Structure 1
Amino acid sequence: MTSAASVPVGSGVLVDMPGNAQLLVVQPQSGEFRAFNPACPHVGSLVNPPAGGVITCPLHGSAFDPSSGAVRKGPATSGLTQVAISVSGQDLLLS
């Protein structure tokens, strides 16, 4: 999927997956990795990687927690869908 080293601490990266899909992979704290479907649950637009401790949707301003994907500010009424990943050496893999 991607290497752990490519995901900055406190931020994240969008990773291209097979079939034109993408995942948002984040590292909220050193060594803690999470992956989310980057489609905002409000209308499906692509969210931005975390900045300043929050994942934001550029379309309508919804905000999400980078550790859990939980919605912090609407208009979205639900959080981002988490995708299971694991660390194997320096690689992040879908679980």
Structure 2
Amino acid sequence: MFAGVGAGGLALAISACGGGSDTAQTSGGTESGAPQAGASQSSAPQAGGALAKTADIPVGGGTIFKDQKIVVTQPTSGQFKAFSAVCTHNGCTVGSVENGVIVCPCHNSKFGIADGAVTDGPADKPLPAQEIKVEGDQITLA
């Protein structure tokens, strides 16, 4: 009887750990495994496929798409930018967008959401710009 309960508990624990997100939207908090209020999750799009809706990218914040290694920001209303999500310091994937900067969790490098420029090291090179297209309310990979 205990073996059945143990296996069921194990299955529950395994399913609770699975199903991670490939995106994280942040605009004042840090990224977590569970969606934050207002955060969106989506499946990995193909190149040229829909990445997000414009309404999904917060003004003054951004969304990290881990699988595509891209971060899309909206520095001001209606202005969308995209950058590599790979930190130029040590190759870690950036982890959050907060207070107008993209933050790398490995060594706390920070990059501006408008231009990808380093605002705080140890990184000394900006995040490279990435190509996206904004048509109507859709953001797609170029």
Shorter-chain-normalised TM-score: which range?
0.7 to 0.9
RMSD across aligned positions (CA): 1.4
Unaligned runs of 5+ in 1: none
Letter in structure 1 aligned against 2:76: Q
Question: Which residue number corresponds to residue 6 of structure 1?
Answer: 56
Instruction: Please list every run of 5 or more consecutive structure 2 residues that lacks an aligned counterpart in the other structure.
Output: 1-50
1:90 aligns with: 137
| Separation of aligned partners in 1, 2:130 and 2:97 | 16
Q: Deviations over 1:24-52 (max 9, x none)?
A: 11111110101111010111111133211
CA contact (8 A) 2:100 2:113 kept: yes
1:21 Cα deviation after fit: 2.7
Task: Quote the sequence identity (%).
Answer: 39
Task: Please identify the structure whose Cα radius of gyration is greater.
Answer: 2
C-alpha displacement at 1:73, in angstroms?
1.4
Equivalent residue for 1:55, pick from 88, 98, 102:
102
The AA in structure 2 aligned to 1:79 is P
In 1: Cα distance, 2:80 partner to 2:96 partner: 13
Over 3 Å counting, the alpha-carbon distance change for 1:80 and 1:7 in structure 2 is: same
TM superposition outliers: structure 1 runs of 4+ over 2 Å: none
Q: Is the 8 A contact 1:56 1:64 kept in 2?
A: yes
Contact 1:13 1:26 in 2 (8 A): yes
Conservation of the 8 A alpha-carbon contact between 2:61 and 2:97: yes
Which is richer in strand?
Answer: 1
Deviations 1:35-82 (A, max 9, x none): 111010111111133211111111101111110001111111101011
**Deviates most, 70-79 or 47-56:** 47-56
Residue-pair matches, total: 92
What letter matches 2:59 in structure 1? V
Aligned-residue offset at 1:5 = 1.0
Q: Distance in 1 between matches of 2:74 and 2:95?
A: 14
